[in-house]
Amino acid sequence: MPETRYDVLAIGNAIVDIVAHAEDDFLVNQGLTRGSMRLIDANEADRLYDLMGPAIETSGGCAGNTAAGVASFGGNAAFIGKVADDQFGKLYTHDMRAIGVAFDTGPLAGGAPTARSMILVSPDGERTMNTYLGACQNLTSADIDRDTVAAAAIVYLEGYLWDPPQAKDAFRCAAEFAHDAGRQVSLTLSDSFCVDRFREEFLGLIRDRTVDILFANESEVRALYQTADFETGVHALQKDCRIAAVTMGAEGALVVTHDGVRRVSATPVETIVDTTGAGDLFAAGFLFAHARGMSLTDAARLGTVAAAEVIGHVGARPAVSLADLARQSGFEL
């Protein structure tokens, strides 16, 4: 096996988040589904932006947030994703490297701009995302560096990679490189609407063991197995997956393996400000711990520490050192 340079290599859509508070009335008037992610084109992006409130900008994207979280824990993280050669692309690249993530995907020149997601945060912290994929449409298997994949203990892929037409080839290519090198492949289902779009393909990836570790939340589990009964979904997961980690918000998380289902509690949060990134940061804690050989339940516990941090403020990336936070929570890193 080649040298392990990275705990986690995350591959996903490189997106700048444009985050604004919004009353639920605004969502209703705009016909938006609370808590969902929808894909929009450049015209709709401009139209919605004109209507939404003043915002802050911050680097985001599922896999990117997870990579940033792993780095914040003191882990070695790398990221592959496609930005454009523009101001938002520079911003995204800076934020990745500044937190310590290796990020060397060549930016797209002369094409679509860097992806942006207009995230409307409701008063209760729920987020509704409106994503213009822009340059992410141009992530291809040519961007997947075999040596980088082989050097990572775990490659982490987001379900949203199924949206840009060429990125699924990049996904399959990365999974193949990883398994060829004896590495593990993990997938987050991203959101229930994404599962609805690509259910059969995701089930295929899970059942043919392309995916070793699956991340999902309750609604994604229900969507994957088209069942209203969460328990039924969890039983199906237990059959289909080697390892699944299922987040349940305030109820904590489940670690699902062939051997059984174990629950860990959520880390308490004083005020939920913005739930964006909760699942991504759970994955960061889980994957970092797993790459470092901790038990699966401790991995899930570390995941809840990271998730609790990120929902306490606006933005999907840690505002403090997760390594410090983990030590304060009794973990020895």
Judged by CB, which is closer to its own copies: 81, or 113? 113
Minimum separation from the CB atom of position 31 to its own copies (A): 20
**Length of the chain in terms of residues written:** 333
- The answer for residues whose C-beta is within 8 angstroms of residue 330's C-beta and 6 or more apart is none
Give me the helices (H) in the chain, please. Answer: 24-29, 42-51, 62-72, 87-98, 146-150, 167-180, 192-207, 218-224, 230-240, 278-291, 296-310, 322-328
Minimum separation from the CB atom of position 124 to its own copies (A): 15
What span, in angstroms and rounded, lies between the C-alpha atoms of 319 and 140? Answer: 32
Minimum separation from the CB atom of position 266 to its own copies (A): 24
How far, in Å, are 114, 140, 318 from residue 15 at the CA level? 7, 16, 16
Judged by CB, which is closer to its own copies: 81, or 252? 81
Minimum separation from the CB atom of position 320 to its own copies (A): 8
What span, in angstroms and rounded, lies between the C-alpha atoms of 15 and 34? Answer: 20
Minimum separation from the CB atom of position 55 to its own copies (A): 7
Residues that bind its own copies (CB under 8 A): 18, 20-21, 49-50, 52-59, 68, 86-88, 91, 94-96, 98-99, 113, 314-315, 317, 319
Minimum separation from the CB atom of position 280 to its own copies (A): 15
Judged by CB, which is closer to its own copies: 233, or 315? 315
What span, in angstroms and rounded, lies between the C-alpha atoms of 206 and 241? Answer: 6
β-bridge mates for residue 154, sequence order: 8, 184
Judged by CB, which is closer to its own copies: 18, or 305? 18
Residue 254: strand, helix, or coil = strand
Minimum separation from the CB atom of position 95 to its own copies (A): 4
CB burial of residue 328 (10 Å; 0-12, 13-18, 19+): exposed
Judged by CB, which is closer to its own copies: 97, or 197? 97
What span, in angstroms and rounded, lies between the C-alpha atoms of 67 and 10? Answer: 6
Judged by CB, which is closer to its own copies: 95, or 158? 95
Give me the helices (H) in 181-268, please. Answer: 192-207, 218-224, 230-240
Judged by CB, which is closer to its own copies: 121, or 144? 121
